[in-house]
Amino acid sequence: MRKMRLVFASALLIVCALVVIPNSRTTAGPLSAPAQAKTTLQPNTLCARNERVIFSCPLRRPAKIVSVCAAKNLTRETGYLQYRFGLPGKIELEFPKERQGSQAKFEYTHYFRAQFDLTEINFTVDGVNYSVFDDYNGEEKPAVSLEGVSINKPGTAEKETRYVCRTRPKSDFTDLQAVLESGP
């Protein structure tokens, strides 16, 4: 009797699954844009699977993601570079909108010496200066590592706002010095 109940329950679950799943797909339609975005993005980034992640991390506050994404074929003449801020399916700022020639809109700065490594990708949107930073200071005890994005609104009382990464970022600054203009 117990075996028969298990067989009946299993059969009932299969029938329900066959009836419910197709109906939910037809009523809901294809995947929504956010669902599609989540499946095509690399984990913990706003970069698509076919893009190169230059920098990406989830922020402490606000609970957003900051990413710098590039075409796999990024050079000074080919590909593109884009800054993205927000959540998968809900990007609040994507700069620049136009991908062609986007390399000219960014500036790269890298300073390195023993126990000290500072990297920045800078750009300006509507007079507001953005700096994606990855800093390491091994001279401090304990060593200090700080990554994120700082926003500087010239001419306002609040000079700079810093959003710091919650976890160690995924980063690949390889060849950026050859691709982007160098800062001071």
Q: Between 34 and 84, where is the model more confident? A: 84
Quick check: 83 and 148 in contact, CB under 8 A?
A: no
Quick check: 89 and 104 in contact, CB under 8 A?
A: no
Does the pLDDT at position 32 exceed 60?
A: no
Sign of the dihedral defined by the CA atoms of residues 79, 83, 125, 159, in that order: negative
Does the pLDDT at position 2 exceed 60?
A: no
Quick check: 97 and 106 in contact, CB under 8 A?
A: no
Is beta strand 107-113 parallel, antiparallel or unpaired with respect to 51-58? Answer: unpaired
Q: Report how far residue 37's alpha carbon sits from residue 184's, in angstroms, rounded to the nearest whole number.
A: 37
Chain center to CA of 40? 13
Q: Between 72 and 20, where is the model more confident? A: 72
Question: What value does the mean pLDDT take over residues 2-8?
Answer: 38
Non-local (6+) Cβ contacts of 31 within 8 A are 39
Q: Report how far residue 183's alpha carbon sits from residue 170's, in angstroms, rounded to the nearest whole number.
A: 22
Q: Which of 92, 89, 94 is nearest to 69 (CA)?
A: 94
Q: Could you tell me the pTM of the whole model?
A: 0.76
99-151: pLDDT as tens digits: 999 999 999 999 999 999 999 999 999 999 999 999 999 999 999 999 999 99
Does the pLDDT at position 183 exceed 90?
A: no
Q: Report how far residue 132's alpha carbon sits from residue 183's, in angstroms, rounded to the nearest whole number.
A: 13
